[in-house]
Amino acid sequence: MRAYVLSIRHSSTLFLGILIAVTCVSLAFATRRDGLNLWPDLVTGLSQSSVYTGVLAAGFCAWEAGRWVGPATARMPGAFRIASVARIIHFVGVVTPIVLGFLASLVTLAVYGLVTGTYGAPSLPWLLVLVCAIVAASALGYAIGVVGGRRWYVAPLGAVLFFVLYVLVQILPLPYGVRSLYPVILNMDSEFVRHIETTMWGQIAAFLAASAALLLIVGGGWRRSSRKHFGIAIVVIGIIGIGGVSLVQSTNGQYVTGFNSRDFACSGDIPEICLNKGYVSAMPELARRFESLNEKSEGTALTATLIEQNVEGIGDEPSANARSVYIEGISELDLSFAISRYVGKYGGGAACNLASVDIDQDEIDQFFAVSIVDTWLTGYDAAGYASNENSEMPGRAQFERFMKLTPAEGNEWLRENFTAYSQCELQLTDLP
């Protein structure tokens, strides 16, 4: 214990622990979406911080390992003067403030979550992976420091090498499962997923095994005096590491799969809107927009009565008699886009097909005609008429006339032409 305490007292990583805590908390807050207060956003920020914390940990640990020379070893009790054991004790002392810094950021975020009523809860295996990733980055830097010794460039070399390896892992054509074995976690959490914990436990085992192997090798455990114990340890570490890598490869490094817990809060009005409880703050504005849409589409199949928040593109389906709305955020632009996607799914845009290579002028006119109607319905200018200064853009004159229609005038036209609109058979000449 005294040797361990000495390692901490003589380590500059006490400062690094504070720096890591500040970095993690800052990035966690920076990734929050405007108007939303969700734990998945905070976890995403913590994950993204692993790039920076890994660089810092590798650089500082390389420095600590390089400056830890003979006199420091001499201060160890006699039982710990064996090189490999002494190195491990020293590394644990160096990495402890780093891990405590990360844990301090978690405590800070937990207090913030309790005070502000942050929706959801973090995945504990996910957080443990982030801790193990920092340990692995520290071990890599420490190994560089042992090899490089007390030279001025050792710390920068450790930090730069960690980052360069990260860049190479990202740009090389490697399977995702292989990329996820590097101790930088870039996965994004969401309130609409189920976590794949097999991947996380595999990473934990792989990161810890890699750290232990590096420490044993640079600690001199392979020397003749301790070769037997070294061999046994390497075999055990190898089994753990291979098991962890196998788990990660079995899931190809995937962290999440689409899932809607249907943890809804519903408006109780008409149209009734059911949103995930983390999105309740968007309810009044979204309800106003759907009321406007219903006023314009009254008497047509586009009118909404029951809306549920779902995750389009992943396979979630709404309950019977309900329709889906997909919300990425709750800013005015995000909600306009959400209404636009709703109309695009249940309105005429779903019947328009511009994917074919043989597109004639009629199909282009039909697409723009439907886009103009959708823009009037939702207020979201997907075609870009308002921002496009090109007066020759197809349908510009019709767009400007249609946008001047009152809800009653546009609704009367829509009911008369809804069949053509819903089948994407409108022509620009059909517009008022």
Write out pLDDT tens, residues 14-25.
Answer: 788 899 999 999
Neighbours of 88 (CB within 10 A): 17
Q: 406: how many CB neighbours lie within 10 A of its CB?
A: 9
Check pLDDT > 80 for residue 230. no
The contacts of residue 367 (CB under 8 Å, 6+ apart) are 352, 354, 424
Question: What pLDDT, on the 0 to 100 scale, is given for residue 13?
Answer: 64
**C-beta separation of 204 from 179 below 8 A:** no
pLDDT above 50 for 324: yes
pLDDT (0 to 100) of residue 348: 84
pTM for this predicted structure: 0.85
Cα–Cα dist 53/317, whole Å: 40
Q: Is the separation of the CB atoms in 13 and 98 below 8 Å? A: yes
Q: What is the 3-state secondary structure (H, E, C) of 293-337?
A: HHHHHCCCCCCCCEEEECCCCCCCCCCCCCEEECCCCCCHHHHHH
Nearest to 265 by CA among 245, 281, 241, 246: 281
Q: How confident is the model at residue 354 (pLDDT cuts 50, 70, 90)?
A: low
Give per-residue pLDDT as tens, 400-419: 888 999 999 999 999 999 99
Q: Is 362 exposed, middle or buried (0-12, 13-18, 19+ CB in 10 A)?
A: exposed
Q: Please write the tens of the pLDDT for every residue from 380-405.
A: 887 777 776 656 677 788 888 889 99
